[in-house]
Each structure stands twice: as C-alpha cells, then as structure tokens.
C-alpha cells in the first residue's frame, strides 16, 4: 500500500514515493510517478484516492503556473503550501479530495523546506514526514536516524533504510520506489529503486506494423 | 459636437477620445496635490491639505494618506468619496491575499488589481469613472521599495518621483530636474517639501497644510509606515528653510 515520505537535509529536500497503481487487490502498474513537479523548485508528493490525487495536484500545479504568468514572480514554497491548504479546506466542506500531500521546495531566501498537508487541510512545516502504511516504519526510522544538516549521501542512506524496512515488514509492500531531490539548482529526479519491472510492451515491428 | 459622445463613458468620440475619462483627470487637476519620491532607503509621500477652514474638525491626523497594509500606503488626489471606495477594495485585496498565501501582497499586484477596477469603470455601462489618482508607496521582498502612480483611466506605472493633483506638471518637471539616483530618504523629504512649497498656491507653508508619510525599513528589518507629526513637520520646515516668506517665491 501507499508510502510517501520526505526529509529536509543541508540545503536540499528529498522526497520518495512508491510507484504502484492499485485497485482493490489488483496491481495495475508499478511505474506510476506520484511525485509531481509544481515548478522549477517545488515538488508535490501525494498519496490518496488516485483520481483525486491527479486532479488535485494538477489543479495546484496549474494555479501555481498561472500565478507566475500573471505576476512574473514565482510563489514561495510557504505561499504555495498555504494556497494548497486553503484549496483543500474550501473543498473539504463541499466535495473533499482524498489526498495527502508532502510539499517540498527550495527558495533563495529561506532555503529548503518541507510541508505536511493532509486531506483534512492540516498544514505543518516539518523536517521529516510520511503518509500511508509505510509511514508506520518510515516515521520511526527517521525518528531514530534523522539529524539536522544531513548530507545527500546520509539522507539517501536513510531513505534506503526506510524502503528496505517497508519491503521486509509490510504485508502489502509496493515493489518500486522513486526518489526525487530539490535544492538550489532545481527540482529533479534522483533515482529509482526497482525490484520488479513491467514487462516491456511489444515493439511496433514485432506486431508487423 | 462632443455632446453626443461625452455623456457616456463607454463610447469613443470620432477623434478616438474618451471624454469622461479626460474630465475625470481634469477634476483631479483641481484637487490638493501630492508628491512621492523613491529613495535608496524608503519612499516618501507628501500631500497638500486643501481645505483648512477654522471650523473644520480634523478628526484624523491624515486625510490624504492611507495605510493599505503593513508594507503599503497611498496618497490620494481627487474626489475623496471615490477614493474611499477604492481604498476599501485595496485593503480587502491585500487581506485576501494574505489569507490565501500567508504572505504580504506584492506591491505591483495590489496596484494592478486596483487599476483593473478603475479600468472597468471606463468600459462598462453608464457609470462614471473614478475621479482619483493615487501614489502608492510600498516595499516587498522581490523588488524592494517601489512607487507607483495611477490615473482614472486605470493606467499605472512605476516612478522614481511623481506628482498628482494641482500643478502636477510643474511639480513633475521640478522633480525631473532635482532628482538624483542614490538619493537618501532625508534628502527625498527635503526635495518633496521644497517642490510642494513652490507649486502650492498658498503663500506660507505650515504644518497644518501639509502631510508627510514615509515607508521604510526599521533597524529590525520590518517595513514601517510612519506619519510625521505636525510638530516634527514644523521643525523640518524650519530646518529646510521653507517657512521664511522669502523662501517660497515661485
């Protein structure tokens, strides 16, 4: 089942997420990227009802882009997090979105930051956070091993510890994970941790097209 | 001829003009003037109080300067009742932005939103435009100190020094002559008071006829809007040699 987690290091934020698209007892695919790039220096890692997740994160992404077009300046991570929270809070009393979000970003003035936003519109600025069944393991591991000012290598080592623990202790552990990083140079993919690969689809030539 | 076109704000005259908008600007030309100057370490606003009847009770310390948010203030020239409406919407916009983003609203965005409202009244049905010009002084983290000037048509632009209201053209050309880049806030106050003293109709310059407000950063790094008290203003006028009758021959 779903596992999304992230932590703030020295000048960067790392977010990791499972990549399974699941319906009931069925796994549809194992390479679904649940970490969306909001703008050049922001990520939203989301878990929850998959339709809601895509709809809501895209809505936020497009609004952040619109803001930048209209005003010529990007939103800060704090402003984007508060905006996201506001949208969730408004939706909560009408047609709530079942999404939990970790919003990671890097700003010139304030440096790296990570925000925890759950589906009932709670907002917290955190150093480390997690959602989903995986959070039971990630949170305790991060409580034990996290310290402020971690280097990228230390942070990745901790992320790998979390993934390993999830895969060895969780009954419904997802096979694959994606790890992304955001620092002053921007938001980018860092690595995948794959234990199964989707079988490659047949090439057009093989089908005789 | 123009009677056919100037009764409606929404219609162009054959020469391509919008008479109502031009009349609104004319109305502002009769109002008490205001001057704004951008300096290295702050923005200065000076205004002329027009009505000084002995009987008039001045309830507030300022009648031309309005604080819109902690980091933003404006000076007004024109019809005050119109201005009150716009200032109210500006304050609402600023608070709404803070509610959404938990951050102060960038200065240009607020100016733009207000000018959108103004523009609307030059285009949509049968209403008259707002007879108000503004000078906005503010600070934000992206562009630092800023000064904007807007008119009834909804146009706005950023300025280093600007004047609105009566004699604004004369004031503007004096500012153009005397403004220097790298001007300090204190020098800006002096320049603003000097220009206003020369463009005002009245012969003697006193603190009752003037208002002075500044936006600057306090030593702790917070933005501050400060209105100069009448006593301090009187002292400034003496210091800059603007109270001697000889000083204000124009």
Residue A201 has pLDDT above 70, yes or no: no
Interface contact flag, A71 B102, Cβ < 8 Å: no
At B20 the pLDDT is 87
Q: Could you tell me if B48 and B73 are in contact, meaning their C-beta atoms sit under 8 angstroms apart?
A: no
Average pLDDT, chain A: 94
Predicted confidence (pLDDT) at residue B66 exceeds the cutoff of 60: yes
Q: CB B142 to CB A78 under 8 A?
A: no
Q: To the nearest whole angstrom, how far is the Cα of A80 from the nearest Cα of chain B?
A: 7
CA B218 to chain centre: 22
Q: Does B221 touch chain A (CB under 8 A)?
A: no
User: Please, which pLDDT band fits residue B59 given cuts at 50, 70 and 90?
Assistant: low
pLDDT digits (tens, 9 = 90+) for B140-182: 999 999 999 999 999 999 999 999 999 999 999 999 999 999 9
Per-residue confidence (pLDDT) for residue B201, from 0 to 100:
80
pLDDT, position B11: 81
CB contact under 8 A, B142 and A73: yes
Record: contact A76-B102, CB cut-off 8 A? no
How are beta strands A3-8 and B34-39 bridged, if at all?
A: unpaired
**pLDDT of A208 strictly over 90:** no
pLDDT of residue B205 exceeding 90: no
Residue B5: pLDDT above 70?
Answer: no
The phi and psi torsions of B240 (rounded to 5 degrees) equal: -85, 5
Cα B185 to chain centroid distance, Å, stands at 17
Which residues of chain A make contact with B99, given a CB cutoff of 8 A? 86
Given A71, A76, A86, which is nearest B103 (Cβ)?
A76
**A100 pLDDT higher than 60:** yes
Give me the helices (H) in chain A, please: 50-71, 77-92, 135-145, 152-169
Q: Can you say whether the dihedral through the CA atoms of B86, B92, B95, B100 is positive or negative?
A: negative
Identify all chain A residues contacting B109, using CB atoms and an 8 Å cutoff: 71
Supply the pLDDT for residue B111: 97
Ranking A70-79, A118-127, B46-55, B109-118 by mean pLDDT, the lowest is B46-55
- pLDDT tier, A1 (very low <50, low <70, confident <90, very high otherwise): confident
Q: Which of B157, B158, B220, B215 minimizes the C-alpha distance to B189?
A: B215
Average model confidence (pLDDT) for chain B?
89
pLDDT, mean of residues B201-213? 84
**pLDDT classification of B250: cutoffs 50, 70, 90:** very low
Mean pLDDT along residues B203-209 = 81
* Min distance B99 CA to chain A CA atoms (Å): 9
Contact across the interface for A71 and B106, Cβ inside 8 Å = yes
For residues A156-177, average pLDDT = 96
How far is the C-alpha of A151 from the C-alpha of A157, rounded, in Å?
10
B96 touches chain A (CB under 8 A): no
Check CB contact under 8 Å for B102 and A79. Answer: yes
Q: Which residues of A touch B142 (CB under 8 A)?
A: 73
Q: What is the pLDDT of residues A35-87, one digit of tens each?
A: 999 999 999 999 999 999 999 999 999 999 999 999 999 999 999 999 999 99
Provide the pLDDT for residue B55. Answer: 83
Contacts (Cβ under 8 Å, ≥6 apart) of A177: A3, A16, A17, A18, A19, A163, A192, A193, A194
Taking the Cβ of residue B109 and every Cβ of chain A, the question of whether any pair is shorter than 8 Å is answered with: yes
Q: Are strands B65-69 and B34-39 parallel, antiparallel or unpaired?
A: unpaired
Residue of A nearest to B112 (CA): A71
Report the C-alpha gap between B158 and B155 in whole angstroms: 11
Name which of A68, A71, A85, A125 to mutate to probe chain B: the one with the most chain B Cβ atoms within 10 A of its Cβ. Answer: A71
pLDDT tier for residue B9 given thresholds of 50, 70 and 90: low
Q: How confident is the model at residue B247 (pLDDT cuts 50, 70, 90)?
A: very low
Q: Flag if A78 and B108 touch (Cβ within 8 Å).
A: no
Distance CA A81, CA A77 (A): 6
Q: Which residue of A has its CA nearest to B103?
A: A79
The domains of chain B, with CATH numbers, are: 17-49+61-238 (3.60.20.10)
CB contact under 8 A, B101 and A79: yes
């Amino acid at each position: 089942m779903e596992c999304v987690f992230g932590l703030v290091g020295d000048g960067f934020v790392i977010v990791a997420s499972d990549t399974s698209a699941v319906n009931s007892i069925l796994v549809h695919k194992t390479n679904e990227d649940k970490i969306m790039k909001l703008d050049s220096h922001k990520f939203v890692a989301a878990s929850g009802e998959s339709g809601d997740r895509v709809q809501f994160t895209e809505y936020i992404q497009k609004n952040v882009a619109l803001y930048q077009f209209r005003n010529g300046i990007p939103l800060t991570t704090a402003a984007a997090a508060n905006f996201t929270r506001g949208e969730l809070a408004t939706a909560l009393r009408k047609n709530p979105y079942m999404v939990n979000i970790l919003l990671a970003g890097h700003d010139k003035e304030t440096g790296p930051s990570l925000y925890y936003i759950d589906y009932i519109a709670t907002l917290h600025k955190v150093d480390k956070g997690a959602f989903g069944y995986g959070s039971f393991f990630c949170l305790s591991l991060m409580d034990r091993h996290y310290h402020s000012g971690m280097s990228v290598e230390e942070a990745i080592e901790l992320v790998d510890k979390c993934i390993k623990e999830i895969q060895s202790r969780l009954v419904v552990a997802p096979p694959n994970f994606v790890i992304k990083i955001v620092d002053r140079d921007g938001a980018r993919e860092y690595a995948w941790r794959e234990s199964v690969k989707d079988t490659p689809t047949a090439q057009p030539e093989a089908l005789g097209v | 001829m123009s009677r056919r076109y100037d009764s409606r704000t929404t219609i162009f005259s054959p020469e391509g003009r919008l008479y109502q908008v031009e009349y609104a600007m004319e109305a502002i030309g009769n109002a008490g003037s205001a001057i704004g100057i951008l300096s290295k370490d702050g923005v200065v606003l000076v205004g002329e109080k027009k009505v000084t009847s002995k009987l008039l009770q001045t309830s507030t310390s300022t009648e031309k300067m309005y604080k819109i948010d902690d980091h933003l203030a404006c000076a007004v020239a024109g019809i005050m009742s119109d201005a009150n409406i716009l200032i109210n919407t500006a304050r609402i916009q600023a608070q709404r932005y803070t509610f959404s983003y938990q951050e102060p609203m960038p200065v240009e965005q607020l100016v733009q939103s207000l000018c959108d409202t103004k523009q609307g009244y030059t285009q949509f049905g049968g209403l008259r435009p707002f007879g108000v010009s503004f000078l906005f002084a503010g600070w934000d983290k992206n562009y630092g100190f800023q000064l904007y000037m807007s008119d009834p048509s909804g146009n706005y632009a950023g300025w280093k020094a600007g004047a609105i209201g009566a004699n604004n053209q004369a004031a503007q050309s004096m500012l153009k002559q005397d403004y220097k880049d790298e001007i300090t806030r204190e020098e800006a106050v002096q320049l603003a008071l000097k220009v206003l003293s020369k463009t005002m109709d009245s012969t003697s310059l006193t603190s009752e006829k003037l208002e002075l407000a500044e936006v600057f950063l306090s030593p702790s790094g917070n933005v501050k809007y400060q209105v100069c008290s009448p006593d301090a203003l009187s002292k400034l006028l003496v210091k800059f040699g603007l109270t001697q009758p000889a000083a204000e021959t124009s």
